[in-house]
Structure 1
Amino acid sequence: MIFTYSLCHAVIDLVHWRDPKKSGVVFGVSLLLLLSLAAFSVISVVSYLLLALLCVTISFRIYKSVIQAVQKSNDGHPFKALMEKDVTVPPETFRKHVDVCLTHVNHVLKQMSRLFLVEDLVDSLKLAVVMWLLTYVGAVFNGITILILADILLFSVPPIYEKNKTQIDRYIDVARTQVNTTIAKLQEKLPGSLKRCKAE
């Protein structure tokens, strides 16, 4: 739970650009990765990334070996400190994260069951409308394009919202009132038995 809380805080700090250098690096890398996936297959992108990493580490190792040979020093392996670090995942930590994931998965499954088995007609109709709208989005964009747009929005909307919070909140309140009014009108037109179910 503490890990999830700290992770959420780290993500919030990144998207709000609290540390511009760190946010810039994460945004640049994530956008570059998504653009690479749009142009190449996942296997190619992963292979090129690992190959680039290997080239850097091998070059650094050779460079350090040459420097040690020229200076006749005995510094040892350049990555010794990193190799001595424990990179294994303790079973308790793994179980804890699995339990957190399982809680979220069970919540999602419960909600999906409720929506698809029409426990609440209005909520199921809302889902149907969203899915219908997504068919049009899917016809225009593919999945990777949506992820690229989501990445750009994730790093641009929070700072814009922080600067124009009052105006945006006012527009959101107006939109929410309109949506609630429309839903109320639709509920009035539902048959009596369905209205009673909604009221309960």
Structure 2
Amino acid sequence: MAEPSAATQSPSISSSSSGAEPSAPGGGGSPGACPALGTKSCSSSCADSFVSSSSSQPVSLFSTSQVHDLIFWRDVKKTGFVFGTTLIMLLSLAAFSVISVVSYLILALLSVTISFRIYKSVIQAVQKSEEGHPFKAYLDVDITLSSEAFHNYMNAAMVHINRALKLIIRLFLVEDLVDSLKLAVFMWLMTYVGAVFNGITLLILAELLVFSVPIVYEKYKTQIDHYVGIARDQTKSIAEVQPRPPGFR
């Protein structure tokens, strides 16, 4: 069963070295054996092609296109479900403790699954059918996380963690004075924001903005870009006009 996949790879490898060396006599070798290349060059070419194909698709739980389709309401049912559940979760956390919210969510889920399980059992007993467990299709799904996939996710996460650690060290140890002062000013402004809003309220506002601003911008993109361009030009013209110092002639 490996011959079709190998056959699809051999033309790209042999085409890069066409005319270099004749193929093996008889032409009876396996299609993926790289007959026109030596052992060293064949292995390096296969390795390069594997690295390029794997690096072109970074490991991530959600792709950029999926997030884009979600916030732009491409699938109304999916976006509505995500938006509704997360908003209800944040509103619940704003009114109750985390332990209460998690407990009620688990109880609600168990109530649904147990009720459905009992209902299907009664229906099967009345109809004398042998359909089996109603969740058997989901119980048979293999959700085991392999060690290779776990290491891939951890490596992808470590890239972002190391980048964040370098940024924190650079800002707090004042590698660049301007950047550290910007952080200090931003944190000083956030003290006033924290006096008015708490963290859950900010998360609720952020979710409302994430799920509303992109769709509004997509609908009125021309008008928004026009006014943003005017504001940018005005700001640029004001910044270019520098006041003269006192006593300057």
Distance 2:110 2:154 in 1: 31
C-alpha displacement of 1:72: 0.6
Q: Is the 8 A contact 2:59 2:156 kept in 1?
A: no
The range that moved more, 157-166 or 128-137, is: 157-166
Distance 1:80 1:67 in 2: 16
Relative contact order higher in (CA < 8 Å, ≥ 6 apart): 1
How far does the alpha carbon of each residue in 1:70-128 deviate from its partner, in whole angstroms, 9 at most, with x for none? 00111111111111111221111111111111110110111111111221222212111
1:46 alignment partner in structure 2: 102
C-alpha displacement of 1:180: 11
Q: In the alignment, which of 52, 56, 64 is matched to residue 8 of structure 1?
A: 64
% identity of equivalent residues: 62
The range that moved more, 67-76 or 118-127, is: 118-127
Distance 2:237 2:105 in 1: 48
Q: In the alignment, which of 113, 122, 125 is matched to residue 69 of structure 1?
A: 125
Q: In the alignment, which of 110, 120, 123 is matched to residue 179 of structure 2?
A: 123
**Given residue 163 of structure 1, which amino acid in structure 2 is its aligned partner?**
K
2:159 alignment partner in structure 1: 103
Distance 2:235 2:61 in 1: 34
1:143 aligns with 2:203: no
How far does the alpha carbon of each residue in 1:111-166 deviate from its partner, in whole angstroms, 9 at most, with x for none? 11111122122221211111111111111000000011011111001111112323
Distance 2:233 2:169 in 1: 27
C-alpha displacement of 1:30: 0.7
C-alpha displacement of 1:179: 8.1
Extract unaligned runs of 5+ from structure 1. Answer: 186-200
Tell me the number of residue pairs that the alignment of Structure 1 and Structure 2 aligns: 185
C-alpha displacement of 1:172: 4.4
**Given residue 175 of structure 2, which amino acid in structure 1 is its aligned partner?**
E
Q: In the alignment, which of 134, 137, 140 is matched to residue 78 of structure 1?
A: 134
Extract unaligned runs of 5+ from structure 2. Answer: 1-56, 243-249
**Given residue 10 of structure 1, which amino acid in structure 2 is its aligned partner?**
Q
If you compute each CA radius of gyration, which structure gives the higher value, 1 or 2?
2
**Given residue 91 of structure 1, which amino acid in structure 2 is its aligned partner?**
S
Distance 1:141 1:179 in 2: 33
C-alpha displacement of 1:177: 7.5
More helix as a share of residues = 1
RMSD of the TM alignment (CA)? 2.4
3-state SS, counterpart of residue 60 of structure 2: helix
